Amino acid sequence: MRPSLKRQQGISLLELSISIGVTALLVIFFLEARMKDVQELEIKAEAVWVIEVMKDIREGLSNDANFSGVNDSFLNVNSVPASFVSMIGGLVAVNNSQGGQVHVAGRSLTTPGNALGLTYTNVPKDVCASFIATLEGVALQKGMPLFGIIGSPSNLSNVPTWNWNASTKSLEVTGSDVALKSSPGKQLDVAATAKFCRNQTYQKSITLIRTWSQ
């Protein structure tokens, strides 16, 4: 018996609905993948200029013996994208793509003024771990390994302080700060980084450390 036209149309509409639903899901998956790719590229680009800032400051001080006296005014270097640089009250201010700021300062580690700290604020929770790992990777790729990385569960207005434990040969931090990489001889602590980034605080600060001799 030949199926009625009504039944044929019913089957056709059902198939069409399924087809539209599957197509919509594929489009969503594709867009999510593309957004993730774009986000990863943006994170990589940000990490590159952040690491380059530390290199530029070191090269600009080649006639000095240490980082003593380094402050945010030293951020006016070519590696910082022009769109992120502004002047506030006659002072240099560097913003980042996450709406936070970048701060630098000379700090003492094993000897007075022999360390440079760069603090990146306003790190969103959803890109926190990826950004930290990318910073570590970019630093290694450029032959500029980081001495240490400190995570702070709040936005900072300056570079935090830290201590060097000669016995354990590792960084010591205070308060709620976390040493995500505690010495140049160690790799990034993946477990500590994951825990720090999962913290309920939405925005966080990351401080990168390099020494004069690196």
Are 102 and 96 in contact by the 8 Å Cβ rule? The answer is yes
Tell me which residue has tokens 């969503």: 28
Residues of the chain with pLDDT under 50: 5-6, 9, 37
pLDDT at 30: 54
Is the alpha carbon torsion for 128, 133, 137, 140 positive or negative? Answer: positive
| CB 57, CB 103: distance < 8 Å | no
Write down the pLDDT at residue 213. 83
pLDDT at 22: 65
Which residues are within 8 A (CB) of 213 and not within 5 positions of it... i.e. 6 or more apart?
A: 114
- Predicted pLDDT at 73: 87
Distance between CA atoms of residues 134 and 46, nearest Å: 9
Return the pLDDT at 52.
Answer: 92
CA-CA distance, 49 to 80, in Å (whole number)? 6
184 burial (CB, 10 Å; 0-12 / 13-18 / 19+) is middle
Which residues does 56 contact at the CB level (< 8 Å), separation at least 6? 77, 78, 79
Among 78, 77, 123, residue whose Cα is nearest residue 100? 123
**β 85-88/91-95 pair status:** antiparallel
> Which domains are seen in the chain, by residue range?
44-211 (3.30.1690)
Per-residue model confidence (pLDDT) at position 205: 94
CA 176 from chain centre, in angstroms, equals 19
Element (H, E) at 209: strand 204-211
- The pLDDT of residue 177 is 93
| H or E segment to which residue 211 belongs | strand 204-211
